[in-house]
Amino acid sequence: MRQTLFNLSGADAADARLEKDISEKNFFGFPIPPIIAAEEKLLNPQNRSVAYLSMEFGLAPSVYNPFSSASPTNNINRIKKHEIFSNLKDMDYYHSFEFEELLDLPIYSGGLGVLAGDALKSSADLNLSVAGVGILWNKGYFKQNFWFKYGQVPEEANWDPKTYPGLIPLDKYIKINLGNFEAKIKLWKYYVYSYDKRFVVPLVLMDSNLKENPKEVRSLTDQLYRSDNQLIKIAQRTLLGIGAVKALDCLGYKIDLYHLNEGHAALAYIELYKKYASKEEASKHIAYTCHTPVEAGHDRFHKNDLAKVLNKEDLQKILSTTAVEGDVINLTKLAMDTTSFINAVAQKHGEITRLQFPKFKERIKTITNGVHTFTWISDPIAKVLDKYRKTIGDWQKDPENLKQVAELQASQHFKYDLWKAHQENKKNLCKILKYWLLEESVFTLCWARRIASYKRPSLILHDLKKLIEIAKTIGPIQIILAGKAHPADNLSSTHIKEMLNKIDELTTYRDQIKVIFLENYDTYIAKLLVSSVDLWLNNPLPPFEASGTSGMKAILNGVPQLTTLDGWVVEAKDWGIGRIFGYTPPPGQIGNEQDQKLEEDSSALYKNLSDITALYYKTLYEKEYFYKSEWLQMMVNSIAAAGYFNTNRMISEYNKNAWGLTSSSSPANPN
């Protein structure tokens, strides 16, 4: 059987470490039959299969379905240290908070990758014949350091793929042409199991870090989104697009549809054109999801640069599409022009995308993003939901059943249990941050996401006087912040510097306000925060947040929102999941990212914060008010809304509208 697996998956039988972790029954502590079944389906030409191509995948094994291994993993895959910058700085010098946890597979940077990971997990939960394809980033994204008075200092991240549990090197290689050079690419595989371990989806990862390749080629798969060089960016997109098609062929997978998660993978069209012999035929086999309404988010490359990586014939294939804008090629347009299915990631994002790309407007559909329920739900909350299964139904089998939580609005028992579960999560967070004197009875809110201008990371710190006033007159506040700025994004790095300065200014007010800024935001910290703070703050400048997903993770754990009206929130606004504030652009306008509306929107933010802080403390301290409190209602509504904003629903929509795979909940019979 083990031999079968090696044959099916192409695992490198010469790798002695695998001998210990792969047996007839076991794959790194997980059952092996689901792997055999999934591989057989992907190899079977009679079976319809989909490939999901993405530059990044955030699988979060530190918080979900971790593999075990008989061999120890390299320490650099384990120890994680998070420095803190706070307004209790005497503490910061002595303590960082440390976890001895498995480092998350560091092949993602933020929301796009987490969505791709969640998409694969839900595909496995639904037993769909899907294979993911991405890149093995040998140096991850980057390690973040804060320097007071300076901002963010990025540092190279290191990890060891060879000893990472569940990641298997294959004895399979592909070749791709980059300029005049033929690069050799090694394939790896990682299996993404369903929540109940009955099904899997394989993720194939491509790696150019081989001795046979010259230095420049080896470093192609070093760092995700390294952006100082156009040729490297083009070569990476060539690897992702063209390489993915070759990698799937190399493994013998019979793929019917290639789903491009963002335009990074658009060059797959070149290879698929060769396979299907015409643009029309190739397009039938490609689907595409667009993830950004921000101009800089659309990849554009100069023809002359493309000509240095692609050969004449290949370049010609894309020059004859409508992706050409003068001397540059727009990969978003390339993807739109060469696919049979296009979707935006929230209703509002659909409207904006149709305005930005009027030529394709009839074809741009919308499938709203979600999060993977089982990855993001905390244990205490899951236990409460299990206790009320009679009303809620089997929410594991179908997370959409969480909508039934709305029926429990009248149940004092449920509200009591929900509150207690939340307090348990919050207590855990306070324990982890004990040196910073966090208190369980103090109102705690969090802003944690990628630091990008349109997300307005420092809005809450915009007017410190007003913030201090709220904390003094209404009640103390604990604020937790986290997020990485893209290393080449100077403006975002400036935001970090500004935030550090503002936090420092609050030093003398630390009895009323504690602000904690965590370094190295990752999926482990994300799960900790979304489940244990009282309020999730989301204040992007509309309409630039395509969807946003961290708020969905928070509502799943009963954590209400204080948010602007953008992305997914537009669809959630009538669910009663928190407070909505701030500017909204007139319909039919794309918006202006330069005009940040900081004055108006921070005022609106403080007004709402003041009300909601008062509501929180009234709920906490007035016993006779507790069960009537709008706070508890918002918590209940939040979980009910999570019945919609999950990837189980999202993937079901992808499947219904674009993929056309059969989904069966019983294990596939390999014969």
Ligand X SMILES: *Cc1c(COP(=O)(O)O)cnc(C)c1O
Contacting residues toward ligand X, per CB under 6 A: 110-111, 114, 449-450, 521-523, 526, 548-551, 553
| Three-point CA angle 649, 651, 652, nearest 5° | 60
Judged by DSSP in three states, 579 sits in: strand
Q: Write down the least CB distance from residue 292 to ligand X, Å.
A: 11
One-letter identity of residue 196: D
Q: Six-digit token pair at 365?
A: 């559909």
In order, the DSSP letters of 451-466 are --GGG-TTGGGS-HHH
Identity of the residue, 110 or 243, whose beta carbon is nearer to ligand X in the bound complex:
110
- Give rounded-to-5 percent helix, strand, coil for the chain: 45, 20, 35
Q: Taking a C-beta distance cutoff of 8 angstroms, is the pair 511, 476 a contact?
A: yes
Euclidean distance between CA atoms 268 and 97, whole angstroms: 43
Closest separation between CB of residue 605 and ligand X, Å? 17
Give the other-Cβ count within 10 Å of 29's Cβ.
15
Residue 237's nearest CA partner among 270, 215, 209, 188 is: 270
- Provide the 10 A C-beta neighbour count for residue 653: 17
Name which of 118 and 314 has its Cβ closer to ligand X: 118
Reduced to 3 states (helix: H, G, I; strand: E, B; else coil), residue 196 is coil
CB of 666 to ligand X, least distance (A): 32
| Closer residue to ligand X, CB minimum distance, 50 or 525 | 525
Name residue 148's amino acid.
F
Minimum distance, C-beta of residue 452 to ligand X, in the bound complex (Å):
8
> In angstroms, what is the minimal distance from the CB of 225 to ligand X?
13
- Give the residue with the Cβ less far from ligand X, 111 or 558: 111
Q: Of 470 and 516, which has the nearer Cβ to ligand X?
A: 516
**Quick one: 81 or 275, whose CB is closer to ligand X?**
81
Return the H-helix or E-strand segment holding 118. helix 111-125
Q: Minimum Å distance from CB 486 to ligand X?
A: 12
Rounded to a whole number of angstroms, the minimum distance from the CB of residue 448 to ligand X is 8
CB of 565 to ligand X, least distance (A): 15
CB-wise, 121 or 415, nearer to ligand X?
121
Burial class of residue 416 (count of CB atoms within 10 Å of its CB; 0-12, 13-18, 19+): middle
Return d(Cα 612, Cα 606) in angstroms, integer: 10
- Between 293 and 476, CB nearer to ligand X: 293
**Shortest reach from residue 147's CB to ligand X, in Å:** 22
Tokens matching residue 505 = 């200014």
Q: Tokens representing 388?
A: 């009320």
Tokens of 174: 């592909």
Closest to ligand X by CB, 226 vs 553, is: 553
Would strands 130-135 and 50-53 be described as parallel, antiparallel, or unpaired? Answer: parallel
φ/ψ (deg, to 5) at 468: -65, -40
CB of 668 to ligand X, least distance (A): 31
Of 430 and 556, the one with the shorter C-beta distance to ligand X is 556
SS3 label, residue 27: strand
Q: Which is nearer to ligand X, 110 or 643 (CB)?
A: 110
**Residue 567, by phi and psi: left (phi above 0), alpha (psi -120 to 50) or beta?**
left
Cα-atom radius of gyration of the chain, to the nearest Å? 24
As measured in angstroms, the least distance from the Cβ of 667 to ligand X is 30
Helix or strand run (H / E) with residue 527: helix 523-532
Tell me whether residue 338 or residue 353 sits nearer to ligand X (CB atom). Answer: 353
Inter-residue contact 590 to 569 (CB < 8 Å): no
Nearest distance from residue 276's CB to ligand X, in Å? 35
Retrieve residue 506's tokens.
Answer: 């609050």
